[in-house]
Amino acid sequence: MDRELLERQMAELPIVQYEFFETSELIFSSRVRYVCETECPQYGKSWACPPGVGGVEACQERCQRYPHALLITSMTEVSDISDIQETLSTRGPHEELTRQVNSLIRRQSVETYVLSTESCAVCETCAYPQEPCRHPERMFPCVESHGILITETAERYGIEFQAGGNIVTWFSLILYQ
Ligand code: SF4
């Protein structure tokens, strides 16, 4: 992949920080999956979330087919970060940003596997579990659904994930080969 070209293109986008690294550096843990299972209302409601995405080992194996990784973040200010509805409503632009970066990479004939934020919201009602995903090419499972401890990777590379105040930080991970 022509990384310099991609970096020039990404400079035109509202990305706050990004980092390239190797997928082998990601930390996978079933503890993350436990949080999904016990704390997330989307658990068992979408193909983009567990258990629809498969077990942590299967997710890890899928990710490792793509040896290189690009982490991108964007930030949004909300009036009250404890208001989950308001916070989630700001997620759309980050998803669009993720699609744009993914398209730029794929335009270079590079294969990607994309993980993004929260549960998929492409369809009004998810087909899970009765029917297969309607738009697998547009569906980005959330990073945590794969058991990835993304904050550890972010800390290692000095990526800000707690800006404080009412600033929401959104993460996406684009794996590629
Ligand atoms: S694209 Fe539709 S069917 Fe597929 S995971 Fe998203 S909401 Fe569900």
pLDDT per position as a tens digit, 66-77: 999 999 999 998
Contact 31, 132 (CB under 8 A): no
The reply to whether ligand 1 has any atom less than 6 angstroms from the CB of 134 is yes
How many angstroms does the Cα of residue 157 sit away from the middle of ligand 1? 32
The reply to whether ligand 1 has any atom less than 6 angstroms from the CB of 123 is yes
Which of ligand 1's atoms lies nearest the C-alpha of 132?
A: 3
Section 163-176 average pLDDT: 91
Q: Is the pLDDT of residue 173 over 90?
A: yes
The reply to whether ligand 1 has any atom less than 6 angstroms from the CB of 58 is no
% of the chain surpassing 70 pLDDT: 100
Q: Is the pLDDT of residue 82 over 90?
A: no
Q: Is the pLDDT of residue 142 over 80?
A: yes
- 102: which DSSP letter? H
39: Cβ contacts below 8 Å, ≥ 6 apart: none
**For the chain, which residues make up each domain, given as ranges?**
3-176
% of the chain surpassing 90 pLDDT: 77
Q: Is the pLDDT of residue 80 over 90?
A: no
The reply to whether ligand 1 has any atom less than 6 angstroms from the CB of 139 is yes
The reply to whether ligand 1 has any atom less than 6 angstroms from the CB of 126 is yes
Residue pointed to by tokens 């991609």:
6
Q: What is the pLDDT of residue 75?
A: 94
Q: In testing the pocket of ligand 1, which one of 45, 47, 53, 119 has its CB within 8 Å of the most ligand atoms?
A: 47
The chain-wide mean pLDDT, for the chain, equals 93
Q: Is the pLDDT of residue 81 over 90?
A: no
Burial class of residue 130, CB neighbours in 10 A (0-12, 13-18, 19+): exposed
Section 87-102 average pLDDT: 91
How many angstroms does the Cα of residue 133 sit away from the middle of ligand 1? 5
Distances (CA, A) of 60 to 25, 31, 101, 146: 12, 14, 22, 7
Burial class of residue 121, CB neighbours in 10 A (0-12, 13-18, 19+): middle
Section 156-164 average pLDDT: 86
Q: What is the pLDDT of residue 16?
A: 96
For the entire predicted model, the pTM comes to 0.92
pLDDT per position as a tens digit, 6-28: 999 999 999 999 999 999 999 99
Helix (H) or strand (E) holding 9: helix 3-10
DSSP annotation string for 137-151: TT---BGGGGTB-HH
Backbone Cα Rg of the chain: 16
- 115: which DSSP letter? E
Contact 172, 94 (CB under 8 A): yes
